[in-house]
């Protein structure tokens, strides 16, 4: 079985800080009336959200974003008449450490389910499974702090690091699912990895048809969790 290759991700430069004018320099007439205060306008609440935290497999590298598997899950929700919004929080090249750094802001808002689909790039780089486990555990913990259920999706390591590494890598996901009692799908690319017609020319990233297969694979667990 194949794991995702690490893809270079573009890193946005940090937003420049806006200079604030010194109020003492402003010329204000002493008797000028205060400006009228605008009434508070309530913001209409958006639909509850499902956040998919992942890497290039989630982001939909090589295919239109609207054909990546999170978008396919969105269509399934719409077809089922379930008013949830699926947020694609996939970033190409992300490891579990990168995903952990993004977790807090990814969980802002009315998030009802977090799908964690990370680990492919940890495996590609041969990072220690113990480190991957610690990162994933922290992601689960942060979701739990906000009372957000977690769907943990497993990944397989590439074969070039040997069977011992692959077994340890695989076991991390099983142990996390058991220890945290979270819903678990053992392999994101089940039925897709190794199938030429469902993968792009790199043999790793799914085509649109492959992404649809992933959505089909995840849908039963997603539907069950949001209907609880």
Query: Which positions are annotated as active-site residues?
Result: 56, 202, 205
End-to-end CA distance of the chain, in Å?
33
Q: Name beta bridge partners: 87.
A: 51
User: Residue 155 has what DSSP assignment?
Assistant: -
Say if CB 157 and CB 127 are below 8 A apart: no
Which 3 state secondary structure label does DSSP give 152? strand
| Greatest extent of the chain over all pairs of C-alpha atoms, in Å | 80
Say if CB 137 and CB 102 are below 8 A apart: no
b/e per residue 41-69 (b: at least 16 CB within 10 A) = eeeeeeeebbbbbbbbbbbbbbbeeebbb
């Amino acid at each position: 079985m194949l794991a995702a290759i690490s893809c270079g991700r573009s890193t946005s430069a940090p937003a420049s800080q806006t200079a604030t004018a010194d109020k003492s320099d402003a010329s204000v007439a002493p008797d000028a009336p205060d400006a009228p205060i605008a009434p508070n306008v309530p913001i209409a609440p958006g639909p509850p959200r499902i956040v998919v935290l992942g890497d290039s497999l989630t982001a939909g590298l090589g295919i239109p974003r609207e054909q990546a598997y999170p978008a396919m899950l969105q269509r399934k929700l719409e077809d089922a008449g379930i008013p949830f919004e699926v947020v694609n929080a996939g970033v190409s090249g992300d490891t579990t450490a990168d995903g952990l750094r993004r977790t807090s802001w990814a969980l802002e808002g009315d998030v009802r389910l977090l799908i964690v689909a990370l680990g492919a790039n940890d495996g590609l780089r041969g990072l220690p499974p113990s480190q991957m486990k610690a990162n994933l555990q922290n992601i689960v913990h942060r979701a739990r702090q906000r009372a957000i259920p977690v769907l943990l999706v497993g990944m397989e390591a590439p074969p070039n690091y040997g069977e011992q590494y692959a077994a340890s890598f695989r076991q991390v996901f099983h142990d996390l699912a058991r220890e945290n009692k979270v819903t678990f799908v053992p392999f994101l690319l089940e039925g897709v990895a190794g199938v030429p017609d469902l993968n792009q020319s790199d043999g790793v990233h799914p085509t649109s048809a492959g992404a649809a297969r992933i959505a089909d694979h995840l849908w039963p667990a997603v539907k069950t969790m949001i209907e609880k």
